[in-house]
């Protein structure tokens, strides 16, 4: 379902893109594609340009997105390794919009099949028909190789009394490891912790135990809960070489650190 404010903005972008001879397509993703849009949804666009104008488009991408509406602020996505992405806030009613600028060739490599909102010819539709999306799934061995190092790091921060650092590590574990694996377990795409409350309702109670308060006992308990959940999820992962010694040493270190704090 498209809300009136979203619909008006989409139509305005379509008009602007169609008037720019350098652009050949406009596609929509995210909740626009799945029909799950609500009043809190942002908008996800892919603007496809003629590769003959690539240098010009990339140099002028902030000016381009400024033509789509009342642009309050915008920045490019180098911080997430995606300079082709422009993250925008439009007004006067606040609307978050992500706009990715691609050539037709770049559209072939994607994580989902976007909705074709406008195209100058059928090139966009043809590309989508002839190629398939590939959503990246967690690599179990990649996780296992790192998980116990992360546990040790969090334990060291706990020992130093750097509780905000410890909390950040626990949050990282939830978003990078636990959330994606739980979503996969529930037949969903591993999008961090996005929509866990709707798509993995049965896991909420155990995940709540991984949300600590700013005190040592709470951080320790949240670390232990994160370990238990990962150990449970790991049982379903195939072709996995367990780092047993790293696990034992890291868990023992966490316990040692916490016990030393309780005796001070």
> 210 near 226, Cβ under 8 Å?
yes
Which of 113, 17, 109 is CA-nearest to residue 57? 17
Fold of 140-262: 1.20.120
Stretch(es) of the chain classified as CATH 1.20.120: 140-262
Pairwise CA distance, residues 160 & 84, whole Å: 40
pTM: 0.86
Length of the chain: 264
Which of 61, 69, 114 is CA-nearest to residue 85? 61
Pairwise CA distance, residues 50 & 22, whole Å: 6
- Digit-by-digit pLDDT tens for the chain (264 residues) are 457 778 999 999 999 999 999 999 999 998 888 777 788 889 999 999 999 999 999 999 999 999 999 999 999 999 988 999 999 999 999 999 999 999 999 999 999 999 999 999 999 999 999 999 999 999 999 999 999 999 999 999 999 999 999 999 999 999 999 999 999 999 999 999 988 999 999 999 999 999 999 999 999 999 999 999 999 999 988 889 999 999 999 999 999 999 999 766
Query: Is domain 4-130 annotated with CATH 3.30.460.10?
Result: yes
Pairwise CA distance, residues 152 & 225, whole Å: 15
Q: Tally Cβ neighbours within 10 Å of residue 256.
A: 12
Stretch(es) of the chain classified as CATH 3.30.460.10: 4-130
- Local structure of 3: helix, strand or coil: coil
């Amino acid at each position: 379902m498209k809300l009136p404010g979203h619909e008006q903005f989409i139509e305005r972008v379509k008009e602007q893109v169609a008037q720019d001879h350098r652009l050949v397509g406009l596609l929509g993703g995210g909740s626009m594609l799945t029909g799950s849009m609500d009043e809190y949804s942002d908008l996800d666009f892919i603007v496809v340009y003629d590769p003959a104008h690539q240098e010009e488009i990339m140099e002028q991408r902030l000016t381009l997105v400024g033509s789509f509406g009342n642009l309050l602020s915008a920045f490019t996505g180098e911080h997430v390794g995606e300079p082709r992405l422009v993250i925008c806030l439009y007004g006067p009613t606040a609307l978050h919009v992500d706009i990715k600028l691609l050539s037709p060739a770049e559209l072939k490599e994607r994580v989902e099949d976007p909705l074709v909102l406008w195209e100058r010819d059928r090139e966009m539709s043809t590309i989508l028909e002839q190629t398939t999306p590939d959503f990246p799934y967690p690599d179990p061995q990649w996780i296992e190789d790192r998980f116990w190092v992360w546990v040790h790091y969090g334990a060291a921060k706990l020992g130093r009394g750097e509780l905000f650092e410890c909390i950040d590590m626990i949050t990282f574990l939830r978003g990078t490891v636990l959330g994606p694996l739980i979503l996969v377990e529930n037949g969903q795409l591993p999008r961090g912790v996005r929509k866990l409350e709707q798509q993995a309702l049965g896991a909420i109670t155990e995940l709540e135990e991984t949300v600590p308060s700013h005190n040592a006992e709470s951080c320790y308990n949240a670390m232990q809960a994160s370990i238990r959940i990962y150990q449970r999820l790991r049982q379903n992962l195939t072709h996995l070489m367990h780092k047993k010694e790293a696990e034992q040493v890291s868990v023992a270190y966490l316990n040692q650190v916490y016990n030393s704090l309780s005796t001070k």
